[in-house]
Amino acid sequence: MKQAFFRYYLYTIIGGICVLLAMMGSSCTPESDEIDPDFRLAFSHDTVSFDTVFVTFGSTTFTEFVVYNNSNQDITISSIALGMGDDSPYRLNADGNAGSRLENIEVWANDSIHVFVEVTVDPNDQNTPFIVEDSILFETNEFIQDVQLVAWGQNAHFFGPGTPNGAIIGSTGDTIWTNDRPYVIFGGVIVDTLSTLTILPGTQIHLHNNAIFAVKGSLNVIGGQDTTSKVVFQGTRLEQDYQDVGGQWGAILLSPGSVNNKIDNAIIQNAFYGVLVDSLPASSTQPNLIITNSIIRNMSASGIVGVTAVISGANLLVYNCKRNSFQAVHGGVYAFNHCTFANFNGTDHKESLVSIGNFIELPDNKIDVNTTSAQFYNTIIHGSVEEEVTLADITEGEAEYVVDFYNCLIKSEEAINRNGDNIHECLFTSQNNKDKIFVRETNNFQLSDDSFCIDRGLAAEEIVDPLIFVVTNDILGNPRDGQPDIGCFEFVGE
């Protein structure tokens, strides 16, 4: 009787344990370690594509995708391997393990792992982009699945310290860059004194990680009217996520003594500064820089900076600069016609679009001032802060300081209050009526059909300033009529 009771008590305890384990997701009977023969991995991408990769440089970052185990059972991936093995131009990292072939990678039930891929493309003799392919093979339960890898390789001319072409351009005379291949610059380059670098239509220049494009001689950029023939200065990060990110490279720097610089039909984007012009030329009546029909955008600092410089600009679109679209430091002479300076990108833009100062701070807390002249014709200055013009005359008369606005649209109280006698037929606006100026569809600064700026510009024959570059077409090549519009775009209607 006691033995029977003991057996009953023991079986009851064992049964209770089994029930408890079952409630915890376990079983008294061990399950088989075999994977369901119908099990398949799931992938976030069936093809991993890379943006254009410069040969020998490699992609700038790993590209990532996810491998999912959607079953209720832990599984082991027998192998993850590149199809071309050690000969593959791709490199593989899965779950923290790197190599061309990885084995026995565990993935818990209803969990996932991240796979990272990088590619380096070897050079060949092609000028046009070429395709580079491989695949990643996943073996699970003797079943093979794959994810395709696709990259476009691009041969390039490499410049900068330690590269085959070096950092000095034009050391033996004038130089021409064509659009046969992109130009990739590491560290920086210098256009040599007394030499001219001419850049022809369609040329693409990529500057890597803080690189500077410095000019001691002269720069002559000759872009074309259509998008494909523009000369483009940008970074080396070509992924979509970096298309609008500033601070990827340094600046185009026109050094003291550099003269006869011309930039036409260029796109300058994603740097710290767009163009920085340092010091007056030998003759203060001859511009350091004439810049026309160009777009400067996405600067982590300023778009155009003049330091005691002479700059003439026309048909310019300068936008989404964290500090200023145009900044004058320590005076200088500046003239702009039919430009659009704008910022509505919602970033940390807190300074005015246009800032004009006649001073510079020297060591020992000394301040030096300089003559300042700035003329704005037919120009839009409008953005997301309350005051988009700063007139920084620190001496209040000690040095000549003249800033004129002719037929401009300006978002500024300061320009009126401090400079009223130099305001000529201008329009003043507020943040709330930007739709009455621009189309404003994702940084579209063309004029809306009821824009204040239509037919409010000053005709070319009425402009008498000798430094003003007169333009009869707009930035897109559309002809301006006898009563032109304000800004870089002429309204052409439907």
Asked whether the predicted pLDDT for residue 431 surpasses 90, the reply is no
pLDDT confidence band for 441 (50 / 70 / 90): confident
Convert the pLDDT of each residue in 309-341 to its tens digit: 999 999 999 999 999 999 999 999 999 999 999
Token pair in block for residue 161: 């310290």
Residue 32's region, left for phi above 0, alpha for psi from -120 to 50, else beta, is beta
Q: Which two tokens stand for residue 344?
A: 């509505």
Q: 32 falls in which pLDDT band (50, 70, 90)?
A: very low
pLDDT-based confidence at residue 284 (cuts at 50, 70, 90): low
Distance CA 296, CA 316 (A): 8
d(CA 157, CA 176): 13
Mean pLDDT computed over 404-409:
94
State the Cα–Cα distance between residues 302 and 353, nearest whole angstrom: 9
In this predicted structure, what is the pLDDT of residue 386? 85
Whether the predicted pLDDT of 377 surpasses 60 = yes
Confidence check: pLDDT of 20 > 60: no
pLDDT over 50 (residue 23): no
Above pLDDT 90, what percent of the chain? Answer: 64
pLDDT in tens, 240-263: 788 889 999 999 999 998 989 999
* Model confidence band, residue 446 (pLDDT cutoffs 50, 70, 90): very high
Does the pLDDT value for residue 124 go beyond 80? no
Model pLDDT, residue 88: 93
Evaluate whether 343 touches 373 at the Cβ level (below 8 Å): no
Cα within 13 Å of Cα(192), Cβ side: 11
More confident residue, 328 or 440: 328
pLDDT, residue 419, reads 62
**Which amino acid is residue 1, in one-letter code?**
M
Distance of CA 241 to the CA centre of its chain: 9
Residue 407 banded pLDDT, cuts 50, 70, 90: very high
The tens digit of pLDDT for each residue in 173-185 reads 999 999 999 999 9
In the chain the first and final C-alpha atoms are separated, in Å, by 103
- Of the ranges 286-300, 343-357, 458-472, which one carries the lowest mean pLDDT score? 343-357
pLDDT of residue 131: 85
**Of the listed ranges 46-55, 93-102, 198-207, 378-387, the one predicted with least confidence:** 46-55
Report, as an integer, the average pLDDT of 260-274.
97
C-alpha distance from residue 305 to each of 7, 94, 180, 275, 318 (Å): 93, 47, 31, 6, 12
Question: What is the per-residue pLDDT across 336-372, written as a single tens digit (0 to 9) for each?
Answer: 999 999 988 655 677 899 999 999 888 888 888 899 9
- The number of beta carbons lying within 10 Å of the beta carbon of residue 482 is 8
Q: Which residue has the higher pLDDT, 56 or 93?
A: 93
| pLDDT reading at 456 higher than 90 | yes
Say which residue, 32 or 279, is predicted with more confidence: 279
Dihedrals phi, psi of 268, to nearest 5 degrees: -120, 120
Query: Which residue has better confidence, 253 or 429?
Result: 253
Kindly report the backbone phi and psi dihedral angles of residue 330, in degrees, each rounded to the nearest multiple of 5, phi listed first. Answer: 60, 40
Rounded CA separation 190/169 (Å): 6
Residue 215 tokens, joined: 């000019």
Q: What is the pLDDT of residue 347?
A: 57
Give residue 393's pLDDT. Answer: 86
